[in-house]
Structure 1
Amino acid sequence: MIDWHYSLAGVLVGLVVGLTGVGGGSLMTPLLVLVFGVAPATAVGTDLLYASATKAVGTTVHGWRGTVSWKVVARLAMGSVPATIVTLFAIGASSKAHTGYAISVVLGVVLILSAIAALFRSRIVAYLTPRVDNVGREHPVILTILLGAVLGALVSLTSVGAGALGMTALLILYPDLPVNKLVGSDIAHAVPLTLLAGTGHWLLGSVDGALLVSLLCGSIPGIIAGSLISSRVSDRFLSPILATVLLLVGIKLLF
């Protein structure tokens, strides 16, 4: 059965994603946990499969336009796939109480870091790029694999991290690549990552099928609507508001 409350939440999150491009996990998972009282593990597992479905569409578009660096995607996957499997085994071996607490704490920290990355991305990239440049040019594969491992662990545990944090790190590691290729690569990498992590959560019993369908029924028209009107809304107005919301939600989860 489709629950219109969840569908409405999907519309709102999809609208924001369409307007700003910010990953739905940063909004959907804390919304399910804090507003609807969904268990953290169920919220994460359901959101991961929800994200894999929506990001697959974005990957198709970017792939058709040639704005995906499959080399970068492969490097990220070399780190994220093993890290995802290890994290899922750790979740399966832990009690529900410990898992729920760990998800809430890590999710709160990641949301705060995502808010900082969204607000000060240009300054962070400008400061770190020259300092990482020499190491990055000598060992780009190793650093990208390590980045993938970090993202794999974070996304598997919280469904958040591959967007704002991953994109910021890619801008630092690959300053010579066009931004649209980095965006496309980040989205393309998120598809197998969220699908693998979501499937793992499903096998662990932490995916609500009815909730997933309800969210998709709302988010798809929401994303379309947000994308259509995005050119009429200033990013300078939306980004600070969204970053502030992520910051407040992150603090709420921690305290």
Structure 2
Amino acid sequence: MLMTYITAGFAVGLLVGMTGVGGGSLMTPLLTLLFGISPTVAVGTDLAFASITKSAGTITHRFNGTVNWAIVRRLCLGALPAALIATLILSQFGALDARIGQIIRYSIAGSVMLTVVALLFRRRMLAWIKAHPERQLQGKALSAATIIAGAVLGTLVTVSSIGAGAVGATLLVMLYPKLTPAEVAGTDIAYAVPLTAIAAAGHWWLGSIDWTLLVTLLIGSLPGITLGSMLARKVPERFLRALLAMTLTGVAFKLIY
């Protein structure tokens, strides 16, 4: 079982490093479906896992010059307060309650399907935006939209641990279509570090983190995301995204039924 956790951590880390996508979308369902971890503990452990893993990815992307820090700051302005508010709401309703666990399970499934939609239609949305440059936001409107997007992602990530990857990357592409794929991945990973750290701290406070499991996953994920970040410009993105979309569709179906 120990090697299974390490292998799962490495595979997820590799995928996150290459695309900025797949962390919570794969790890949280993996913990609930394959390893039988309760949804609440799976979310809390995955958030702690993501905050540490994506820190390693951010360092690599920073050295490659593929992080737009101005965008990271705007996303954090919306995401971090939203994560705190969502944590307080969870604490009021009892995050470890069985009914809340079931709600979180459905939230995970819904977030996974949102990720699939983002993966499948990202190119079409980008093509539409490029064909209608007059519809692109500029200046203060763009900054405000980025902050609002951060708030939505902050709430989604705190409740389900999913959304910072594919959904976040898709929003970045829609708002900033001139970013290269490597810059989208790097910026997406960088803003997710403080967001997942705050959300993980909230789940630690709620008592929903399995620390032994976390350490085991990190043994595999840290080298995985470092390698993936170095390969970000070399791996065919379309193939990876198609494979990920098919996998996640099956995961969402299994979570619901």
Same fold (TM over 0.5): yes
> Do the aligned partners of residues 225 and 149 (structure 1) sit closer, same or farther apart at CA in structure 2, a change above 3 Å counting?
closer
Q: How many residues align?
A: 254
Find out whether 1:170 has 2:172 as its counterpart: yes
CA contact (8 A) 2:68 2:187 kept: yes
1:136 alignment partner, SS class: coil
- Cα distance in structure 2, aligned partners of 1:115 and 1:128: 20
Q: Percent identity?
A: 46
The aligned counterpart of 1:186 is 188
Deviations 1:187-225 (A, max 9, x none): 110000011101110111001110000111122344456
In 1, distance between residues paired with 2:98 and 2:195? 25
Shift of 1:158: 1.0
Q: 1:133/1:98 Cα in 2 relative to 1: closer, same or farther (>3 Å)?
A: farther
Which runs of no fewer than 5 residues in structure 2 stay unpaired?
none
User: 1:181, CA displacement in angstroms?
Assistant: 2.9
Query: Aligned residue for 1:200?
Result: 202
Moved more, 91-100 or 50-59: 91-100
Q: Which runs of 5+ in 1 are unaligned?
A: none
TM-score normalised by the chain length of structure 1:
0.88
CA–CA distance in 2 between the matches of 1:48 and 1:190?
10
Matches within 5 A, 1:17-28: 17-18=16-17, 20-28=19-27
Check whether the contact 2:60–2:229 (CA below 8 A) recurs between aligned residues.
no
Q: Is the 8 A contact 1:151 1:162 kept in 2?
A: yes
Q: Report the alpha carbon displacement of residue 230 of structure 1 after superposing the two structures with TM.
A: 7.7
Residues 120-139 of structure 1 mapped to structure 2, 5 A cutoff: 120-128=121-129, 134=135, 136-137=137-138, 139=141
- Contact kept? 1:133, 1:173, Cα under 8 Å: no
**How much does 1:129 deviate?**
6.0
Q: What aligned pairs does 1:1-255 form with structure 2 within 5 A after superposition?
A: 3-18=2-17, 20-95=19-94, 96-128=97-129, 134=135, 136-137=137-138, 139-223=141-225, 234-255=236-257
Q: 1:57: Cα distance to partner? A: 1.4
The range that moved more, 173-182 or 213-222, is 173-182
CA distance in 1, matches of 2:234, 2:66: 24
Q: Which amino acid aligns with 1:192?
A: P
State the Cα RMSD in Å.
2.5
Q: CA deviation at 1:27?
A: 0.7
Q: CA deviation at 1:133?
A: 5.2
Alpha-carbon contact 1:132-1:173 (below 8 Å) kept = no
Q: Distance in 1 between matches of 2:86 and 2:147?
A: 16
Distance 2:81 2:235 in 1: 40
Q: Which amino acid aligns with 2:100?
A: T
Q: CA deviation at 1:99?
A: 2.2
Q: What TM-score comes out, normalization by structure 2 length? A: 0.88
